[in-house]
Amino acid sequence: MAYSPPNTFSATAVIVAADVQENLDEIKKYVNGSAVGGDLKSSSLWVEPKHIVQGYYNPLSNMHDFVSGVSGGMMSDPDDESWICDGPTARASPSSPDRVCYPNAGIEFYLESSADVLFKIHATPITPDDAKGSALWSRVYMFLDETQISSTKMYTSNAKNSSPTETDPGGLWRQWHNFYISKNLAAGWHSLTLRGYTTYRYSYLVDWGCTMEAYYL
């Protein structure tokens, strides 16, 4: 709301320096970030093109910076694949498999101030079957910075087992899509990554992408 002086002076009283200073301090607070939408002139439209900031587009990171937030994302190229292996993840069935990043499947971004941020991802994961006859799968999670978002858990399972009569056409070609909304994410650098593990020799993604929309609070 508009600036309101905390002290009003009287003709019959001494003007106290501390009161004047308090009034000035309130002005400083207002100018430094307390103006709100309700303070804007509404009697007529006054915005002209010169007042509009177009936003800055960074073609390297595919990020578009606005005064009110940041948008961006990445899409894999048509022939790209992003691989993880069981070597550093879930080989020999550890109780707590290590999660590793799917290469080139994340984004980094910078927030000028705290923001509500929407993330969306999609991917086609493939975890082949090797007729081992055991449960083979991969799992993936969205990670915001170094924090696993457990509710974004996504699976694959093997395409078929050793029984030759059963097939699962949906086993190989699954679709992953998920989202996350981070409320009041702090200013500064952040990253969104896809991290997971696999019990098969390898698992990989084709046709993946992720987007983010940040809205400054």
Partner 1 sequence: MSRIVNDNFGPAGRTTTAVKANAKFTAVATATSSLSEVNVRHEGIDARNLADNYIVVKSIYADNDNSSEDFQYNMVGTYGGAFEVNHTGSSPSAGSGLLLDMSSSPMVLKNNDLLRIFHACVLTQDDGYGRVTQPATDYFMITFPVWDITSASLSNFETLPAHDSDLNNAATTQVDIDLEANKSGGIALYAMTGRNVVSGTDFLMRRNGMSVWHYKHGGADQTIYGIRINANGPYQYVQIGTSVRGWEQVTVSSTGITHVKMSHGHVGALQMRGGQP
How close are the terminal C-alpha atoms of the chain, in Å?
16
**Nearer to partner 1 by C-beta: 29 or 188?**
29
17, 40, 60, 92: which one contacts partner 1 (CB under 8 A)?
40
Contact string (CB under 8 A) for partner 1, positions 167-196, x = contact: -xxxx--xxxxxxxx-x-------------
CB of 42 or CB of 93, closer to partner 1: 42
* Selected binder of partner 1 within 75, 135, 186, 187 (CB under 8 A): 135
In order of 35, 39, 46, 156, 212, the CA distances from 43 in angstroms are: 18, 12, 9, 58, 36
* Residue linked to tokens 């090797």: 130
Pairwise CA distance, residues 75 & 154, whole Å: 19
Binding site for partner 1 (CB under 8 A): 2-5, 8-11, 13, 15, 20, 23, 27, 30, 35, 39-43, 46-48, 51-55, 66-69, 116, 118, 120, 133-135, 137, 148-163, 166, 168-171, 174-181, 183, 215
